[in-house]
Amino acid sequence: MNPAPTGLWSTPRLSRRLAASAGALALVFGGLLYVLKRPTSLLMFAWIERIGGTEYVQAARQSLAPMVLPSSVVECLPQALWAFALLTLVRATWVGHVGRAGANVAALAIAFALAAELGQGLGFFPGTFDPWDLTLVAVALWCSAVLRVDHLERGSRYADP
């Protein structure tokens, strides 16, 4: 078995488990940013109210109120993190599948991630088109795409235990 590439321009190599963990972490962090720092007038907060979580969210928001984040982080980063999570989780799930199925599902994930912002720009979805959102989503998708997610054999120093 060949060792993982090294050097400045080598592609990071992740096991499926580590890639899935990175995707899940991005999903959670993006969700926390959204819930704890975005305006409560967003539709998601009506959903939180329906499940009885408003009291908990308000308490968390109040405890984090002194923490000020740049508006670009609060407004753009959650969507980029979700795009990274979507593509990374799809790739971790579909790695090793024979044929074009994995590539097709990954392409669908990329299209879905970009369509949300592009749809706003074209008036198909509610919201405000922001070129920074689109740029950060594209960067997040690129970051996920360059990760080398492998279905590694047991015994490899890079394999899951």
| pLDDT > 70 in the chain, percent | 82
Reduced to 3 states, what is the DSSP secondary structure of residue 149? strand
Residue 31 within a domain? yes
Domain membership of residue 36 as a residue range: 14-150
Q: What is the pLDDT of residues 49-67, one digit of tens each?
A: 999 999 999 999 999 888 8
Give the mean pLDDT of the chain. 82
Answer yes or no: are the C-beta atoms of 60 and 117 closer than 8 Å. no
Residue 48 within a domain? yes
Residue 77 pLDDT > 90? yes
Residue 104 within a domain? yes
Residue 25 within a domain? yes
| pLDDT > 90 in the chain, percent | 42
Q: Is 140 exposed, middle or buried (0-12, 13-18, 19+ CB in 10 A)?
A: buried
Higher per-residue confidence, 26 vs 3: 26
* DSSP string over 42-88: SHHHHHHHHTT-HHHHHHHHHHTTT----HHHHHHHHHHHHHHHHHH
Residue 1 within a domain? no
Residue 2 pLDDT > 90? no
Kindly state the average pLDDT of the residues 109-138: 91
Residue 15: name the closest of 145, 140, 148 by CA.
148
